[in-house]
Structure 1
Amino acid sequence: MGFCVESARVMLIIFNFIFWLSGVALLGVGIWFLADKNIVSYLEVVNHNVPNAYINYAAYILIAFGALIFLIGFLGCCGAIRRSKCLIGFYLFFLVIIFAGELAAGIIVAIYRTEIEHSVDKELSNSIKMEYTFANESAITKSWDTVQVELKCCGGKGPDDYMNSKFTNMSGIIIPISCCVLSDTNNMVAKDKSQCMNKVPEYYHEEGCKKKLIEWVKSHSVILIGVGCGLAGLQIIGFIFGICLCRSFKYEEK
């Protein structure tokens, strides 16, 4: 029985080391989603005037639980080293809490993936026509420029979204430079501005951003779901080791 107890303790300590590493990964993914310039721009465009920015909420949950995992992993190690049923009990309780939070984050992202396809058409066109400006001062204008340059697209449904828009009425330009094929992306220099403004196919982006944004949201939500599922699997293993260790303590006391 002593061998079983020691084996359970060692396995739980090894697991918690892996658990700490998964916490770093979870924290990193959450921070990446909120700090990366391109991702922030994509989310600004997609979430503009949408009351429930689900991917943002899911990222905040990932950051919170990633930080909490450090504390829970330490608690599990202490419980295993000190042979404390009380600490192991708290450890198991918090594992269940974290699991529930990750499940909630997964549901939020799954809902978001469905809802984005219903709301994106109207919101993208509205933000282009009403919010995109010639002065390039607003956050939504800068975000749209980043999206159009990085995804090589123009407008929501297409370049025609700029017809009779606030941008066109103010500037007299039919599409912004970010819709053009660029020779210098850092300084927003078009390959051939006159050809772009005449909508010569090889000099501007003919495809709208809707499809590419939806594909981007889906691919990145898969990352969130994958990280959450992987961590959930680790937590189930940790829960089993914790239960086994508690039972080993019980038999050892007899």
Structure 2
Amino acid sequence: MAKCCLDLAKFLLFLVNLAAWVLFGTLLAGGVFLLVESESILGFPIQADVSADNPSALYFMLLLIGLVVCAFFFVFTFLGCCGAACQNRCMLGSFIIILFVFLGANVGAILFMYSHFPSEVAMVTAELQKTIPYYDPVAHQSMVRAFWDAVQPMLACCGAESFRDWASVRGLKPGRKVPASCCWPSEVSDCVYQPEPNNAYMAGCVSQVHGPLVVLFWAIPVCLALMVSLALCVCLHGDRRTSTRHASGASSNGRGMRRRRNKRSDSRQSQYSEETGYIYRAHDSAYPSAPPYNPQFRDHEALQHSADSYPTGLIPPEPHEYTKPLIQPPAYHEVMARRNQF
């Protein structure tokens, strides 16, 4: 069950990062294409210049910021995708650290926005209302016109606070109260002269953005927390698997070392014993429990019961398991004859 949950976490982390990687890669490629082919797409070229003399400086700055953000998230999601697929601790660690930074920054931004929300909304509304008098329906390269004509149909709004913001625009044709971008596509002819709820967007763009922005601000930290949880599960699972593999390798190495040590001990045990005068063959990694009687060793009973006759840490076998000496001891009279020579 635990393995299935960890596999599911790895799959979800890989799938989410793969989708985000493809999305940001597409946005990055689209932004580069828009920067190169801006004249054919927007009708005016976006020049790589931020000076005040450049009419497209604002577009260039926004596009440049968008490209940098997309490139960063493209690399960031690549770390998460490959780290989840390969269970690479280095990639997953970098991914988790960046996620924690984003999570902290997002929580701080939410707290700041809620503490200054009314003043921020009023400031944004006032700044947008300042741009409305510069709306020129004739100049095709007007940045203000391009902005409002793109934002109002997309958000289904009209003006910054309401459709009444367009009453101060002198650039509109005589009799028109709102631009055509405030109207429903099928009711443009009547809407521009008499905007009503059944043919025009009546709400302001700031109020239309407020609701989705609040949902987005709460959804981002929740998603980041889920991503951190999934990444931690996958990373810890990889650490546990690596430690288990190392432990099993160490245990196998330990068993091999013990076998080699016992083999060396066995080879040392098959040697000549000066106390008894016999050569013993090792049996089950131990000396025989009771050496045969040897008249050369007077205190043979002490030898039979001495703990020093066995290697340290080895259990002596049963008395019937000892092996006979390879070299038979000399007869008693031969031993006595050798003593008398001295």
State the TM bucket, normalised to the shorter chain: 0.5 to 0.7
Deviation (angstroms), 1:205: 2.2
Displacement of 1:62: 3.4
Superposition CA RMSD, Å:
4.0
Of 185, 192, 197, the residue aligned with 2:193 is 197
Residue 33 to residue 120, structure 1, CA distance change in 2 (3 Å): farther
State whether residues 136 and 171 of structure 2, in contact with CA within 8 Å, keep that contact through their aligned partners in structure 1: no
Q: Which of 62, 73, 94 is the aligned partner of 2:84? A: 73
Pick one of 236, 244, 247 that aligns with 2:243: 247
CA shift in 2, pair 1:209/1:14, >3 Å? closer
Range moving further from structure 2, 95-104 or 193-202: 193-202
Q: Which residue of 1 aligns with 2:156?
A: 152
Q: Distance in 2 between matches of 1:116 and 1:138?
A: 31
User: Which residue in the other structure is 2:53 paired with?
Assistant: none
> What amino acid is aligned across from residue 198 of structure 2 in structure 1?
E
Aligned to 1:161: 165
Out of 7, 10, 18, the position equivalent to 1:24 is 18
- Relative contact order, CA 8 A, sep 6+: which one is greater? 1
Q: Does the aligned pair in 2 maintain the 1:128–1:161 contact within 8 Å?
A: yes
The separation in 2 between residues aligned to 1:33 and 1:140, in whole angstroms, is 24
Query: 1:128 matched to which residue of 2?
Result: 132
Number of residues paired by the alignment? Answer: 211
TM-score (norm 1): 0.63
What's 1:105 paired with?
Answer: 102
TM norm structure 2: 0.49
Other structure's SS at 1:202 match: coil
Map Cα deviations across residues 174-214 of structure 1 (whole Å, 9 max, x no partner).
3111112331xxxxxxx152454233443322221111112
The answer for unaligned runs of 5 or more in structure 1 is 1-6, 37-47, 77-90, 184-190
C-alpha contact 2:163 2:203 (8 A) present in aligned 1: yes
Q: CA deviation digits over 1:52-85, x for unaligned, max 9? A: 99x9577654332112223323542xxxxxxxxx
Structure-1 separation of matches of 2:84 and 2:106: 26
Gaps of 5+ in 2: 32-57, 252-342
Distance 1:146 1:221 in 2: 24
3-state SS of 1:154 partner: coil
The within-5 A match list for 1:1-254 is 16-28=10-22, 30=24, 61-76=72-87, 91-110=88-107, 114=113, 118=120, 119-130=123-134, 132-134=135-137, 135-165=139-169, 168-169=170-171, 171-172=173-174, 173-183=176-186, 191=187, 193-252=189-248, 253-254=250-251
Q: Is the 1:124–1:210 Cα contact (8 Å) retained in structure 2?
A: no
Aligned residue for 1:182, secondary structure, equals coil
| Larger helix fraction of residues | 1
**1:58/1:105 contact within 8 Å kept:** no
